[in-house]
Amino acid sequence: MDRLAKAMQPFLKAIKGKRIAGGQSSLEVVVHTVNDLVAAYAAIARPEIRKDHLVGSCVAATWITIQVMRLFRVRARAITVRVEICNSAFVNFEREFGRRPLLGESADTWIVGVGFEKGQGLVGTHVIALIDEQIIVDASIDQGNAPEHGITLPGVVYTVVEKEFHSGTRMIVDVSGQRLVYIPHNVKIELRSLYDFNHNAETDGAVQRIAAKLEQMGFHPLD
């Protein structure tokens, strides 16, 4: 083995498997992890999704997320959950008293549920993406925003999944003092029967715009 090949070995090992290559030229190669890709996606995706979809369109947002990840050869699939969103006053109350506030006990505390209602235009659950079996991406969580009650979430939230979550245990995600509680909800729903969980002009358009922006940021699929 020559000296150059030996020197390149650690680099070649690093880009195997869960890595995505990027760079400005053949002389400059940046190696991105899946987490890097997800973070970049979270930073840019929501405005593109909202161009053609309503704030509560979790089905479309998840389909778009999955398709973008697959373009970069990253595994992704849809899962169903319910989410409780607690404002910072609610979180502080729990921390101080060791319990949830009773209804009407505190004027400052507020909690919002996402994925609990079923009816016209509602699927009775909340659909999010599971990336590489390790990271959840919620690309429509801002539907739960209630600024008048101190709930102001970004358009996309993501986090590494706790092992217990896969077996049905709820998972807590703290976002700027607010608390999201993700509750696994294994509801039977045929997502592909829904217009928004398929290729169409709106979803495909968002996928193309987001992928183009990611490529401009230096992300490219690794062959």
Task: List, for the chain, all residue ranges whose pLDDT scores fall below the cut of 70.
Answer: 1-31, 119-122, 222-223
Q: How far is CA 163 from the centre of its chain?
A: 17
What pLDDT was estimated at residue 202?
97
The answer to whether residue 5 is domain-embedded is no
User: Domain range spanning residue 74?
Assistant: 32-216
Handedness of CA 127, 128, 132, 133 (dihedral sign): negative
What pLDDT was estimated at residue 119?
64
The answer to whether residue 182 is domain-embedded is yes
The answer to whether residue 170 is domain-embedded is yes
Q: How far is CA 193 from CA 13, 30, 35, 105, 190, in A?
A: 41, 40, 30, 43, 6
pLDDT tens readout for residues 40-83 = 999 999 999 999 999 999 999 999 999 999 999 999 999 999 99
The answer to whether residue 14 is domain-embedded is no
The answer to whether residue 92 is domain-embedded is yes
The answer to whether residue 23 is domain-embedded is no
Number of folded domains that form the chain? 1
The answer to whether residue 210 is domain-embedded is yes
What's the pTM value of the predicted model, to 2 decimals? Answer: 0.84
What pLDDT was estimated at residue 73?
94
How far is it, in rounded angstroms, from Cα 140 to Cα 95?
A: 28
The answer to whether residue 2 is domain-embedded is no
